[in-house]
Structure 1
Amino acid sequence: MRNAIGSARRSFASGRSVNAFNNRLFTVFVWSASAAMVLFILGLLYLILQKGLPSLTWDFIFGLPSEIEEGGGIGPALFNSFYMLLISLFIAVPLGMAAGIYLAEFAPDNKLIGFVRICVEGLASVPSIIFGLFGIALFVEMFQVGLTILGGAVSLAFLNLPVMTRVTEESIRAVPGELKQASFALGATHLQTIRRVLVPTAINGLVTGICLIAGRAFGESAVIILTAGVTTSGEMWDFNLLSPGETLAVHLWYVQSEAIVPDAVEISDKAAAVLVFVILLFNVLFRIPLWIKDRKSR
């Protein structure tokens, strides 16, 4: 009997040591993979930024592009990028949040809604060029407005709408059910619960979704080429929605592939640095209110 107990103890101890070794091995693997990924991203950012940032000037950022002579800027393209980004966010964020809240809180659990979710997930993974072709069919062929800022901005909104819808739905569903039930117990209506409990609690996920679609819209090129064109009106601050809408990402592609200016490589390096820097700045600016909120709540 004592031998059996001793044997069982030795087997148990041996199993624990093996599990502990496996846990340490897996931890080392995870940390190594994470460190390699972080180093790869930092290295990529360094290669892009160190080529363009040191040589940036205000004349380049706000200057007009040149087709033949060297020394052209990116002013109109950069303005169009921000302009179309804001218009697309004004369309995609409210509609996407409303659709996500409906799917999470009001939609019945049936086959039709399940099919709708599958369609939304499918649209979120569709290549952007498909939305560009849809934009051509809608704005260029049906409405006959040509390649414009309006067509590019609305097409970007269509591109990001499924992503915002899915992020909103998952963020709302991730809120603990106890908070929702407590709000109902205090006499709040469903709408009040959504406004004052669910959305504030899910704000981190919602902001992450907005950051994702903002970065995607700012760096998108295929949709813009097909719906807004590869030229600008030549004015720095052109708010006309029917003007051609070349963005910074499209300008970067055009300089690398089609431009004949002598300093095309330098322009592309500086434009790429501005593009990456602005996307990083988006993420930081969107996160600042969340950091302030977290510090106040502690």
Structure 2
Amino acid sequence: MFDKAATVLLWGIGFLIIVILGWFLYKILGPGLKHLTPSFIFGKPSEVRAGGGVGPMLFNSFYILFLSMAVSLPIGFGAGIYLAIYAKKNRFTNLIRISVEALSSVPSIVFGLFGYLVFVNWMGMKFSIIAGALSLALLNLPVLVRNTEEALRAVPDSYWEASLALGSTRWQAIRKVMLPAALPTLITGITLVSGRALGESAILIYTSGVSVSRHFPDFDLTAMGETLSVHLWYVQASSLVPDAKQIAQGSGALLVLVVLLFNLLIAVPSRILSKKFNGGK
């Protein structure tokens, strides 16, 4: 009786989640899809006239994401590997884990204020793409460190012991056995971090600004780098364009589609690689 009740409850919760997700997509994509024309997606924005696009903002979203991940991935993976494999159990490593967990729960706007004080003011980067990317990397780090550590600890100890017994060094065992075995979990963590970074706005308002370069695409790290999520906030808050509502609807729909497509592009290859490293199972 209790088993059937629990099964019904869990199925009901799953169905409710699907309904909420469907309602969310309907409310966002319904009004916005009709605005997603090529001129809107790839065109330049307009400050006072109707008909502007979001091309530079879309480019900046991926550009800042790429730069932030290029900084945070090596550090996050390295710290996670150290905590899972090399670190001994003592007060220092316990302090590191507590600090990482505390940072992962800090609101993103706090990272934005930190980036504004350190990168924008103290280091003189001003409102720029590089300041936004470095601040976003700080937001990514705690999640990447914890995800990497937990992914490696979830690999059976027999994998590690068998690799060392065959004469491999620690680094060889990590590179050729542990990381491939933990790859699905690692990629899941990267996907979650990337999706969150694509939709982040609070940090970037304080660090990369609410304006874009006149050139498109502009790879200059010192240029201001308004992203799609920041533009969505800006047009709703203080934009002077007469079609601000339509731009916000289109930007919201485009942002949702970009995040969904980005997750699919990472998730599908990760499953293929997972089957490859696990012998096709």
TM range (shorter): over 0.9
Residue of structure 2 aligned with 1:91, choices 71, 75, 79: 71
CA distance in 2, matches of 1:236, 1:60: 14
For residues 181-202 of structure 1, what are the alpha-carbon distances to aligned partners after superposition, in whole Å with 9 as ceiling and x for unaligned?
1111111111111001110010
CA distance in 2, matches of 1:90, 1:151: 14
Q: Post-superposition shift, 1:140?
A: 2.1
CA distance in 1, matches of 2:176, 2:207: 39
Residue of structure 2 aligned with 1:254, choices 228, 234, 244: 234
SS of 2:82's equivalent in the other structure is helix
The answer as to whether partners of 2:132 and 2:203 remain within 8 angstroms in 1 is yes
Cα RMSD of the aligned pairs, angstroms, is: 1.1
Aligned to 1:164: 144
Aligned to 1:111: 91
- Per the normalisation by structure 1, the TM-score is 0.91
CA distance in 1, matches of 2:29, 2:231: 18
For residues 77-134 of structure 1, what are the alpha-carbon distances to aligned partners after superposition, in whole Å with 9 as ceiling and x for unaligned?
1111111000001011111011000000001100111011000000011011111111
The answer as to whether partners of 2:43 and 2:54 remain within 8 angstroms in 1 is yes
Residue of structure 1 aligned with 2:120, choices 140, 157, 181: 140
Residue of structure 2 aligned with 1:232, choices 212, 228, 253: 212
Aligned to 1:214: 194
CA distance in 2, matches of 1:138, 1:227: 10
Query: Which one-letter code corresponds to 1:208 in the other structure?
Result: T
Q: Post-superposition shift, 1:234?
A: 2.3
Matches for 1:17-36 after TM superposition, within 5 Å: 21-36=1-16
CA distance in 2, matches of 1:95, 1:268: 36
CA distance in 2, matches of 1:96, 1:177: 22
The answer as to whether partners of 2:184 and 2:271 remain within 8 angstroms in 1 is no
Q: Which is worse superposed, 240-249 or 141-150?
A: 141-150
Q: Post-superposition shift, 1:287?
A: 1.2
For the pair shown, which has the larger CA radius of gyration, 1 or 2?
A: 1
Unmatched 5+ stretches in structure 1: 1-20
Residue of structure 2 aligned with 1:74, choices 54, 79, 84: 54
CA distance in 2, matches of 1:100, 1:291: 22
For residues 20-55 of structure 1, what are the alpha-carbon distances to aligned partners after superposition, in whole Å with 9 as ceiling and x for unaligned?
x01110110011011101211122112211221233
The answer as to whether partners of 1:61 and 1:73 remain within 8 angstroms in 2 is yes
SS of 1:231's equivalent in the other structure is coil
Query: Which one-letter code corresponds to 1:291 in the other structure?
Result: R
SS of 2:32's equivalent in the other structure is helix
SS of 1:279's equivalent in the other structure is helix
CA distance in 2, matches of 1:26, 1:145: 55
The answer as to whether partners of 1:62 and 1:236 remain within 8 angstroms in 2 is no
Residue of structure 2 aligned with 1:285, choices 241, 261, 265: 265
Query: Which one-letter code corresponds to 1:292 in the other structure?
Result: I
Unmatched 5+ stretches in structure 2: none
Identity of aligned residues (%): 49
Query: Which one-letter code corresponds to 1:176 in the other structure?
Result: P
CA distance in 2, matches of 1:293, 1:89: 20
CA distance in 2, matches of 1:134, 1:55: 36
SS of 1:132's equivalent in the other structure is helix
Query: Which one-letter code corresponds to 2:160 in the other structure?
Result: K
CA distance in 1, matches of 2:139, 2:13: 32
Query: Which one-letter code corresponds to 2:48 in the other structure?
Result: I
Aligned to 2:221: 241
Residue of structure 2 aligned with 1:102, choices 50, 72, 82: 82
Q: Which is worse superposed, 42-51 or 201-210?
A: 42-51
Residue of structure 2 aligned with 1:59, choices 39, 42, 45: 39
Q: Post-superposition shift, 1:295?
A: 5.3
The answer as to whether partners of 1:64 and 1:72 remain within 8 angstroms in 2 is yes
Q: Does 1:37 align with 2:22?
A: no
Q: Which is worse superposed, 40-49 or 66-75?
A: 40-49
Query: Which one-letter code corresponds to 2:156 in the other structure?
Result: P
Residue of structure 2 aligned with 1:175, choices 144, 155, 165: 155
CA distance in 1, matches of 2:7, 2:244: 47
The answer as to whether partners of 1:62 and 1:75 remain within 8 angstroms in 2 is yes
Aligned to 1:15: none
Q: Which runs of 4+ in 1 moved over 6 A?
A: none
Q: Does 1:184 align with 2:164?
A: yes
